Structure 1
Amino acid sequence: MNESTGRRSRGRGRVRAAAAALGLLAGALSAAAAGGSPATALTAPVSLTADNLSTWQTNGIVWSMAASDDGVVYTGGTFSTVRPPGAPAGSSEQPAVNFAAFDAATGAPTGCSLSFTLSSGTATVRALTLSPDGKTLYAGGQFGSVNGVGVSNIVAIDTATCTPRTNFKIAVSATVRALAVTGDTVYLGGDFNSVAGQTRNKFAAVTTGAALKPWTANTDEVGRAVEVTPDGQHVVIGGDFFTVNGTASHALAVVNATTGALDKSYPGFIPNTSTVQDLTTDATKFYTANEGTGGGVFDGRIAVDLTTFQQVWRDTCLGATQAVLVHKGVLYSGSHAHDCASMGEFPDQPRKHLLAQSVDDPKLLPWFPDTNDGIGEPVGPRVMAQTDSGGHHYLWVGGEFTTVNSSPQQGLTRFADGPDTGAPWVPNVSVSTVAPNKVDVNWQTSFDTDDGELIYRVYRDGASTPVHTTTGYSVFWDRPQLRWTDTDVAPGETHTYRISASDGINTSAKSPAVTAIVASKAESYPARVLSDGATLYWRYDEGTSTFAADTGAGLDNGFLRNAPSYRQTPAAVAGPSTAIGFNGTTQYAYSNRSHAQATKFSVETWIKTTTIRGGKIIGFGSKTMEVSGQYDKHVYMLNNGRLTFGTHDGGGRTVSTSTAYNDGAWHHVVATQGSGGMALYVDGQLRVSNALYTTNENYTGYWRVGGDNLATWPNRPTSDFFAGQIDETAVYPTALTAAQVSAHYALRTGG
């Protein structure tokens, strides 16, 4: 075996946002393909596109796969029919009782048809693997017959005739969940405690002639994965167990391929709350897929050196991993990852089901096709397999899912090394004319499911030739703002701008035109906000997009969630700017960047509301797509319209106004904290302060506007989300002085 191909035959679970989670995919793409080599549109070392290919479907769960060198993909699981791509459940179905074989290149069934049944209970095929010569397919699971031939949870299939081999019969007492095979030995793992009438607890080995071998690697709990090392000297086993041959080794062990004796134990290596669901190898390492239940779990992946059997790296994403597979230096995985913040990746949010990372580094690579959770537990992908056919390499994925890349597709999908046909999302664009004699063109970098580095072209006044071209890197959770300043303008001129995004082959439609009238002098209010050091400044002048442009140098743009009301007028500050409206239930904004604890800070914004349900106006929280688990440094409105400013220092520290501000008028709100304590200003005047409250909670988080968690905070309002209009939001790394606050308020009419 070599690193470029990985293991082609997957045992039990040997085998694995973004668009649906962000809620942005529908209507986002309008693509035009250009010529070129498919590989140029992918970010190395990724060599597979994220575009799912047309593939037949099952009506149930696919648990196992094995792919042959001649381009056949065998699938097993718990299902009874298969149907064509695009066919809804119940239509155009063909019988396929827990097994089906497909052409890797077309996704269509082959002529190989087998029926796995059980006299009592539900039959299932949990493991498939091919002999090194490809002549025999071994299947394990819970079944009593195959095509009417009696067997006992394991069977050998002659691939040339697609019939059970009558010379391979051996009794296994319970479900077989994992298989691996060499030239003369079949290793199996599962729920069983006897094989051929002899004690074998959870793991066993038999000859390819179905004779039980003396190999013994007894464990106390279920075996879920088994993998032979490339040198044939060792067998890596994984599962739920805590001991191997009586020695402590939880979930993972390396044993001798001849005797089963323990070569490497792993006590305490994986938490007791986690198990190993899958294993795979390349030339230098083996990799684990881990699933946890309860608190303190480990759900990610581990790379282990094949020479020393020591850890090379591990990732700490939360969201159980079910399948792993290596291809050309990339570890592809199937999981339901929802929180990778602990390793500097995406924060807790709706699940992502297909990921990729270098075999040398746990950092996530820009490859993000996605499924849903589907049926069953549900967890999405369960198994992976790969093979070459017709000049292309194919990655097949099976599992519980019922959608792929947001379109209906059940149980099976596949990806290839080209052609890449998916265009990046259309950029979100905003223009700013705060300074005189120039136009700042700001845009939120786009998202492409299989490329991180994208090309952006800026078009002015309907021209077909771009006036500016640049590149930028983005992934679904980190879409930094870019800016180009047009100085070839004159005061009073009107200009329109559009931007496209390209992966080098596929180009999005141009963004809707945005218009700017070139200013002849600086706008007083924003000029003062920027000169006083705002590191985040959202003016909310965008149209219908997900983008709140940062007007300042920080380029910390905001994500606008759930379609707030754009371009509300009149705005809080005189001039061409507009405000934004939030509904008080689902709508809010969060900063693209995460931030360390702000030991001193100011938050500033304008509000207009008549709500009697209160809500959070601005604050700092640990999450973006979900309500935060840690949250403070916030200003919220009570049901009676009064304002509270709170930070957390071993407990909630708050100051509150005695006056209500839900009178339907615009109000200027500034909250500061520093060495002088906490202060809350409204309409340019200090309303309340406390010199003792100088610190706040230490965690990495995001600035949020319009709503977030308020649980446990004093006088918690009916709603955690703010219903009303918000404008001119700014965050500073200092505590603004009373004079600065007063000056800002005085400039509201243009000054």
Structure 2
Amino acid sequence: MRAPGRLRRSGVYAAVLALAAGALTTSAATAPPAAALTPPVGFTADNLTTYQTNGIVWALAEANGVVYAGGTFTNVRPAGAPAGSSTTPAVNFAAFNAATGAPTGCSLSFTRSSGTATVRAFALSPDKSTLYAGGYFNAVNGTAANGLVAINTATCSLRSGFAPNFGATVRALDVAANGTVYAGGDFQTVGGQTRRFFGAVTAAGAVTAWNPDADDPGRTLKVTPDGRNVLIGGDFFTVGGADSHALAVTDAGSGALTRAYTGNFIPSTAVIKDIVTDTASDGWYVAGEGTGGGSFDGRLAMRLGTFDQRWRDTCQGATQTLRVYRGVLYAGSHVHDCSTMGGFPNQVRKHLTAQSVDDPAMLGWLPDTNDGIGEPVGPRALTVSSRDGRDFLWVGGEFTTVNGVAQQSLTRFANTPDTGAPSVPAVSVSAPRAGEVKVSWRSSLDLDDSLLTYRIYRDGGSTPVYTTQGSSLFFSRPQLTFTDTDVVAGRTYSYRITASDGTNTSALSAAASVTAAASASPYQERVLADGANLYWRYDEAGGAFAADASAGGDGGVYMNVPTYRSTPAAVAGSAALSLNGTDEYVYSDRMHHYTSPTPYSVETWFRTNTTRGGRIVGYGNNIGTAQGHTSSISDKLVYMTDDGRLAFGVQVGSTSSRPTLTTTASYNDNTWHHVVATQGPSGMRLYVDGVAVGSNTTAGNRSYNGYWRVGGDAMPTAWPNRPTSTYFAGQVDETAVYPSALTAAQVAAHHALADTPSGPGDTTVTLTPDDDAYVNSVAPNTNYNDNQLASRGSTAYLSYLRFTVPAAPAGQVLKGARLMFRTSSDSTAGSSDSHTVVPVTGTWTESAVTYNTRPSLSSTVLGTITGATSVSTDHSVELNAPALGGALGSVYSLALTSSGTDSLRIWSSEVSTAAYRPQLVLTFGAE
């Protein structure tokens, strides 16, 4: 359900969506300087050292720089202490210094003679001299007390004479300016008088006339700032006998209904867990917890003056607690699906979020806990406190980790300082045409800063050649792009990027290198000219980022480390991507919306010999994640059947109809094939290898927000000839999506330009070493001929590789050379140092070479390896092709050397997995 009218997307979310639409715009490049916290966020995402409890914290309150925690626990312990160690008794109640996170010494024990005692609610008197604590207990420090007590905050002692008697658990409390204490919970009597689930007592403890008379438990309540009404929330369906489910406004004196909420305003499957007010925004805010996809799990923003709805957050994820701080609504929940709001689809849970009080769009504040013990749902309570010149947001609940580190049930965040740096940018470089190097990167993530500043450094320089800004959120990390036009054809350039929030700066990205081209790829230029707004060429040497070569800026994410830079590729000058058919795929990092019957085209090259079929490319309503989330809605699919036939299908609306075109021929013959699927006003068309092979008149498909995926996603059994595997085993190359239905002539032209398998006129040769070995100065007489090679400067390692290099094909010359390798699984395999590739001028043999008999080396540097910092990762280095030209038609040796202290370890030709062995890739073309 949405509020009347149209939801506005303002602030961070709007900026992210704008950048997601393409490369950086002028407005983005001239945005205000990034700050340590992106306004209006008021707290950092850096959790502070805080004592822990050994059970659930249900309630928090603050007074005079002291934070009180109530719940179901028996002790507290320091941050970092494992459960059961260094404990201090604290029976369901503890008090902490807001600025240090350490106990204050205030100790009260809430117990029961039978059953499990718990503290569930706190409220402060207007002058903060009295803390009211409610729950399920019948004694405090041995003094009889049934469900509600008053605590003197100055002395940490019970206030004598205050002894109301609640018949069951008190779950909610608030105090009016006149001292009246309002309560909600499971009780049906107060002081012997009938008060079903809501009741109130005076500051002296006498029962008042306030009697909403609900039919089910109360979970939360709040006195309006003017004192005239009490906002109540819970499980109830009636108040005073009148319909008003889960939410109502009652008169502060009598409890009579001031405003009921009927119909499906709060679905019958939802309850209300928290209510807070904020006079600055004339608002009150409501937290919902529901069951099922059509329920209410998010937040409501309501008006204090009229009690009408201002906006509604329909994310799924059981909101438990809310607090407002300087115009921002902070929430504890386990939000996991905001697709009904145009946000992120179902994925891993997030437990702490923020949004403006004026707009439901998510802000860039995302520290996180886990679900923890109990139900489990994570955070249960929030409060804000000030002390020693800083403000603190305290979080209590049932979690056992905070930001990935062990911390149980309590944590806190401050308004300053921000110490967390953004993530390192993931960079891809290409040379798309003469005089250009294109540097693309996936925008970084900072848990409290959505607007970041990026600086690009070239060739190891200390002064950036380009500086820009961009916004991102965890579910939308747009591709950003810089085109370097100060380049010379044939020269190799390397680039590194940092991300900064204005205070903290990430490490430099791994160096990404490319040789400037003398001309553009004819295939690429035709794809771009025909309007592709997503174009993945799969030329990355490793990492998780798939650059979009189009102006659409729709970068992709590689999942589960596919095999990069497979050869031969479908198109000259490009590499291909190998997928294992089990869990490897690529997904779009940007949400799209297709409204039927908007035309589109999907194009890709593939090569396979699978007999299990698979989903080659398609559209679905979920992104891919490490948690394995797949789409519940899919269409616009190109897939292969078990017998190698190709199919193109759509879903018509939300019906079960899935019109599908299927070829009669099979294409699992392990050669490259070109497939294009189009849909427009005239219907569906399927082309294979430049020729139309099927068509129908279906112009409609399903309208929804979604993401493109290559290599795999869910496929319901309703799809015709559904393959055994929904993941594709084989190679893919040159995937493109267009906002139009390509014509037959355009499709034929694309196929002709590729001239598979290696491109128009070019020849690609991939060589593995005839011999390889390494030597070690610490063991100068030992020969190392095993499944790894190594390079290091101090206590030196050197490696040698020998190749039989063919002569150039007739009429062609060596145009490019690249050494490809994979770092080993050894924990020290990655290296932060650079390593050079040089010719070997002396003689050596694989079985006998040692450090003392090592061959002499040339001073010529053929290429430099940088950024190979990760283990079990594919990398490559461009080599100086002209320098290698003289080795054609001979046996030729290369060496890996370094002057640094950090060793590099790579798999050798002896490793059992062929795909991990080193490769020398040579590209020949016309003179």
> Percent identical across equivalent pairs?
61
> 1:700 Cα shift?
2.1
1:305 corresponds in structure 2 to 303
Q: How many residues align?
A: 711
After TM superposition, the structure 1 = structure 2 runs for residues 68-217 of structure 1, keeping only pairs within 5 Å, are 68=63, 70-182=64-176, 183-217=178-212
Please point out which of 445, 453, 457 is paired with 2:451. Answer: 453
Distance 1:542 1:59 in 2: 48
CA contact (8 A) 2:34 2:452 kept: no
Q: Alignment partner for residue 742 of structure 2, among 699, 722, 736?
A: 736
* Alignment of 1:689 onto 2:687: no
Q: Distance in 2 between matches of 1:340 and 1:480?
A: 18
Q: CA 1:635 to 1:39, structure 2 compared with 1: closer, same or farther past 3 Å?
A: closer
Could you tell me whether the CA contact under 8 Å between 1:39 and 1:47 is conserved in 2?
Answer: no
Tell me, what secondary structure is at the counterpart of 1:498?
strand
Q: Which residue of 2 aligns with 1:432?
A: 430
2:712 maps to what in 1? 707
Q: Trace 1:342-357 onto structure 2 (pairs within 5 A).
A: 342-357=340-355
Provide the rounded CA distance (Å) in 2 between the counterparts of 1:572 and 1:93. Answer: 64
CA-to-partner distance for each residue in 1:388-437, whole Å, 9 max, x for gaps?
00000000011111111122211111111010011111111111112112
Q: CA deviation at 1:39?
A: 9.9
Partner AA of 1:620 in structure 2:
Y
Residue identity matched to 2:580: N
Aligned-residue offset at 1:526:
1.1
Residues 81 and 39 of structure 1: is their aligned pair in 2 closer, same or farther, counting only changes over 3 Å? farther
2:126·2:179 contact (CA, 8 Å) conserved in 1? no
Q: Structure 1: how far apart are the matches of 2:544 and 2:84?
A: 38
- Identify the residue that residue 678 of structure 2 maps to in structure 1: 672
1:270 and 2:266 are equivalent in the alignment: yes
The residue that corresponds to 1:527 in the other structure is 525
Write the distance in 2 (CA, Å) between the matches of 1:216 and 1:536.
Answer: 61
Cα distance between partner residues in 2 of 1:582 and 1:138 = 61
Supply the distance in 2 between the matched residues of 1:736 and 1:103 (Cα, whole angstroms).
Answer: 67
- Name the structure 1 match of 2:822: none
1:252-281 per-position Cα deviation (integer Å, ceiling 9, x unaligned): 111121222221211132122211100101
Closer, same or farther: CA 186–578 of 1 in aligned 2, 3 Å:
same
Secondary structure of the corresponding residue to residue 604 of structure 1: strand
Deviation at 1:699, TM superposition (A): 1.7
Q: Whole-Å Cα distance in 1 between the matches of residues 405 and 561 of structure 2?
A: 22
Deviation sequence 1:268-320 (CA, Å, 0-9, x none): 32122211100101112111111111342011111111111111221111111
Q: 2-side partners of 1:39 and 1:66: how far apart? A: 33
Please state whether the residue corresponding to 1:410 is helix, strand or coil. coil
After the TM superposition, which residues 258-337 of structure 1 pair with which residues of structure 2 at under 5 Å, given as runs?
Answer: 258-268=253-263, 269-283=265-279, 284-337=282-335
- 1:490 corresponds in structure 2 to 488
Report the Cα distance in structure 1 between the residues aligned to 2:107 and 2:274, rounded to whole angstroms: 27
Which stretch of structure 1 is more off in the superposition, 492-501 or 250-259? 250-259
Q: Distance in 2 between matches of 1:160 and 1:261?
A: 36
TM-score, normalised by the number of residues in structure 2: 0.75
Q: Distance in 1 between matches of 2:530 and 2:449?
A: 38
1 CA distance for matches of 2:257 and 2:680? 59
CA distance in 1, matches of 2:34, 2:422: 16
SS where residue 730 of structure 2 aligns?
strand
Q: Residue 513 of structure 2 aligns with which residue?
A: 515
2:823 aligned partner: none
Helix, strand or coil at the partner of 1:506: coil
CA distance in 2, matches of 1:622, 1:316: 17
Partner of 1:21: none
- The answer to which of 201-210 and 289-298 deviates more is 289-298
Match of 1:335, SS state, is: strand
Contact 1:644-1:655 within 8 A present in 2 as well = yes
Are 1:717 and 2:723 matched, yes or no?
yes
* Matched residue SS, 2:526: helix
2:318 counterpart letter in structure 1: A
Residue 532 of structure 1 and its aligned partner are, at CA, apart by 1.7
Q: Is the 1:677–1:689 Cα contact (8 Å) retained in structure 2?
A: no
CA–CA separation in structure 1 for the residues paired with 2:255 and 2:594: 52
1:253 partner SS? strand
Q: Which moved more, 1:714-723 or 1:676-685?
A: 676-685
* Alignment counterpart, residue 562 of structure 1, candidates 557, 560, 563: 560
Distance 2:336 2:141 in 1: 41
- Is residue 698 from structure 1 mapped to residue 703 from structure 2 by the alignment? yes
Cα distance, 1:660 vs. partner?
2.5
**Stretch deviating more after TM superposition (509-518 or 561-570):** 561-570
Q: Which of the numbers 57, 61, 79 marks the counterpart of 1:66? A: 61
The one-letter code matched in structure 2 to 1:81 is N
Aligned twin of 1:406? 404
Q: Distance in 1 between matches of 2:290 and 2:253?
A: 31
Matches within 5 A, 1:371-386: 371-386=369-384
Match of 2:367 among 359, 366, 369: 369
What is the CA–CA distance in structure 2 between the aligned matches of 1:602 and 1:259, rounded to whole Å?
65
Matching residue of 1:660: 666
Provide, for residues 609-631 of structure 1, a one-character-per-residue CA deviation record: whole Å limited to 9, x for no partner: 23332221100111114211211
CA offsets, 1:564-606, max 9 Å, x none? Answer: 222222222222x222222323222222222222622211112
Which letter does structure 2 place at the counterpart of 1:206?
Answer: V
In 1, the alpha carbon distance for the partners of 2:507 and 2:292 equals: 45
2:244 corresponds to which of 219, 227, 249: 249
Say if 2:60 and 2:122, in contact at 8 Å, map to a contact too.
yes
1:95 Cα deviation after fit:
2.0
Contact 2:538 2:577 survives alignment (8 Å): yes
Cα distance between partner residues in 1 of 2:466 and 2:349: 37
Hey, what does 1:224 align to over in structure 2? 219
Instruction: Read off the aligned partner of 1:157 and give its amino acid letter.
Output: I
Contiguous gaps of at least 5 residues in structure 2: 1-32, 761-927
Q: Which has the larger radius of gyration?
A: 2
Q: 2:233 maps to which residue?
A: 238
Per the TM alignment, residue 527 of structure 1 is displaced from its structure 2 partner at its CA by 1.5
1:499-547 CA-to-partner distances (Å, cap 9, x unmatched) read: 1111111110111001110100111221121122211100111233221
Q: Is the 1:45–1:330 contact (alpha carbons within 8 Å) kept by the matching residues of 2?
A: yes
Residue in structure 2 matched with residue 469 of structure 1 by the alignment: 467
**Partner-residue secondary structure (3-state), 2:752:** helix
C-alpha distance in structure 2 between counterparts of 1:536 and 1:720, whole Å: 23
Indicate the residue corresponding to 2:591 in structure 1. Answer: 594
Contact in 2 for aligned 1:39/1:417 (Cα 8 Å): no
Shift of 1:122: 1.4
Structure 2 counterpart SS, 1:744: helix
Q: Deviations over 1:164-210 (max 9, x none)?
A: 23311121111100011134211100001001111000000001211
Could you report, residue by residue, the CA deviation over 1:301-359 in whole angstroms, capped at 9, with x for unpaired residues?
11111111111221111111111101111111111111112222222211111111111
Measured in 1, the distance between the counterparts of 2:110 and 2:71 equals 10
Structure 1 residue 145: deviation in Å?
Answer: 1.4
Give 1:384 shift.
0.3
| Partner residue of 2:644 out of 632, 641, 644 | 641
Q: Spell out, residue by residue over 1:675-729, the C-alpha distance to the aligned partner (whole angstroms, 9 max, x if none).
A: 332222222333x312222321222211111111111212222222222221111
Change (3 A) 1:524 1:512: same
SS at match of 1:657: strand
Q: Give 5+ residue unaligned stretches, structure 1.
A: 1-37
Change (3 A) 1:528 1:400: same
- Aligned partner of 1:47 in structure 2 is 42
1:369-389 Cα distance to aligned partner (Å, 9 max, x none):
111111111111111011100
1:581 equivalenced with 2:578 (yes/no): yes
Comparing 595-604 and 172-181, the one that deviates more: 595-604
SS at match of 2:524: helix
Q: TM-score normalized by structure 1?
A: 0.92
